Homo-oligomer: A and B are copies of this chain.
Amino acid sequence: MAGKPTIADVARLAGVSVSAVSKVVNGRGGISAATAERVLAAAAKLDWSPSATAVALRGARTRAVGMVAARSADLLAADPHFTVLISGIERELAPVDYGLLLHVVGEEPGAEERAYRRLAQERRVDGVILTESRIGDPRFALLRRLRLPAVLVGVPWHEEGGEAPVVSVRAGEQEAGIRQAVDHLCALGHRRLGYVSGPEDRVHSVFRRRVFESALAARGLAPAPVVVSDFTAQGAVAAMERLLAPGPGARPTAVLFANDTMAVAGMNAARRLGLEVPRDLSVVGYDDLPLGELVYPRLTTIGQDLVRLGRAAVTALFGLLDPERPARAPEIRPPRLVVRESTGPAPAP
């Protein structure tokens, strides 16, 4: 009684055995309603609930899931991708009393692997949620070796033999957003589009670029200039300078960016180059961050349903941990274009 109360204290107070208390709190029956009530009252009075560690040790279920974010503090701050995903994850975790163990490691090589190893070897979590899969992603093999159940949020890499031993969220319809953006720009009269991609080791970067290219082709437009960048603001500025430089072929009149951070930075770069958005140049982002509504002109962008994606990841992970459980995954909205102010009619030639 000196320290925190244990199940034994509750049992004593209720005048029953420890086993009885356990049965009651786990609703496993065999205890009369009257006794159960006494037990519950005692537990409430002592403010007791089962120690997560003891339960974990006993049951080999930690009731926690892990997540490793391999990003610098700056990039993490600039792009709330993780943050939003996490709040979706939590929405699903909280009702079933699961915890989320988060590791933010920098981008030093090895740090990420070390984080996963710790999670697995110290048995701190039942499974992990991955995001931002990379091409030839080493994490799948690692997690398989560590026998740590994992779910990937986003697009997995289906080609080149790197079959994903994990559950992937969302199929088809991924392309909708970019298609809509291209259609939207075409409808506004744009014919020369540009694209600023993210790092090409990211699956979703490559995926989005390809969708863009195929959407162009579907519209019968010429292949567009693509600049590979790095998701950062500085990268976007450099990309814009290349795209808008007077060179062979006409300048694009509209540019799509692989994320909002780059789109916003790109808009400003254009402005510094003497172009007004959207009069001289239309800009489209990706992610629909709150940022997009803050800037001037407000950003036309492609919105993803990140919160629900996070929830679905948890559901999938639970399904992996316990195949019996009926997994009713939430419906996820496909990416869709949010038209605001940064896109407008193509300038006259």
Copies in the complex: 2
Give CA–CA (A188, B217) in the complex, Å: 54
Set of chain B residues within 8 Å of A84, measured between Cβ atoms = 73, 76-77
Set of chain B residues within 8 Å of A97, measured between Cβ atoms = 118, 122
**Residue from B78, B80, B94, B271 in contact with A76 in the complex, judged by beta carbons closer than 8 Å:** B80
Question: A267: shortest Cβ distance to chain B, in Å?
Answer: 7
Structural contact, B101 and A64, CB atoms closer than 8 A: yes
Set of chain B residues within 8 Å of A216, measured between Cβ atoms = none
Give CA–CA (A99, B265) in the complex, Å: 35
Q: Mark A88-109, 1 if CB is under 8 A from B, else 0.
A: 1010001001011111110000
Q: Mark A282-295, 1 if CB is under 8 A from B, else 0.
A: 00000001110111
Give CA–CA (A333, B3) in the complex, Å: 39
Structural contact, B99 and A101, CB atoms closer than 8 A: yes
Q: With an 8 A cutoff between CB atoms, is A50 at the interface?
A: yes
Interface of A is mostly: helix
Set of chain B residues within 8 Å of A117, measured between Cβ atoms = 47
Question: A225: shortest Cβ distance to chain B, in Å?
Answer: 23
Structural contact, A53 and B56, CB atoms closer than 8 A: yes
Q: Assuming the A-B contacts A4-B123, A52-B124, A53-B53, are A104 and B118 also in contact, with contact meaning beta carbons closer than 8 angstroms in the complex?
A: no
Q: With an 8 A cutoff between CB atoms, is A207 at the interface?
A: no
Question: A274: shortest Cβ distance to chain B, in Å?
Answer: 13
Q: With an 8 A cutoff between CB atoms, is A214 at the interface?
A: no
Question: A239: shortest Cβ distance to chain B, in Å?
Answer: 14
Question: A266: shortest Cβ distance to chain B, in Å?
Answer: 10
Q: Assuming the A-B contacts A94-B105, A289-B77, A296-B268, are A53 and B47 also in contact, with contact meaning beta carbons closer than 8 angstroms in the complex?
A: no
Structural contact, A78 and B296, CB atoms closer than 8 A: no
Structural contact, B296 and A294, CB atoms closer than 8 A: no
Structural contact, A53 and B268, CB atoms closer than 8 A: no
Give CA–CA (A1, B330) in the complex, Å: 38
Q: With an 8 A cutoff between CB atoms, is A181 at the interface?
A: no
Structural contact, A233 and B293, CB atoms closer than 8 A: yes
Set of chain B residues within 8 Å of A102, measured between Cβ atoms = 86, 90, 100-102
Q: Which of A88, A121, A147 has the most CB of B within 10 A?
A: A121
A111, closest chain B residue (CB): B94
Q: With an 8 A cutoff between CB atoms, is A329 at the interface?
A: no
Those 10 A-B pairs whose CB atoms lie nearest each other, nearest first: A52-B122, A73-B87, A77-B80, A78-B290, A53-B56, A90-B104, A49-B121, A268-B296, A87-B104, A53-B57
Task: Give me the interface of A with B, judged by CB distance under 8 Å.
Answer: 3-4, 47-54, 56-57, 60, 62, 64, 72-74, 76-78, 80, 82-84, 86-88, 90, 94, 97, 99-105, 111, 115, 117-118, 121-124, 147, 233, 261, 264-265, 267-268, 271, 289-291, 293-296, 307
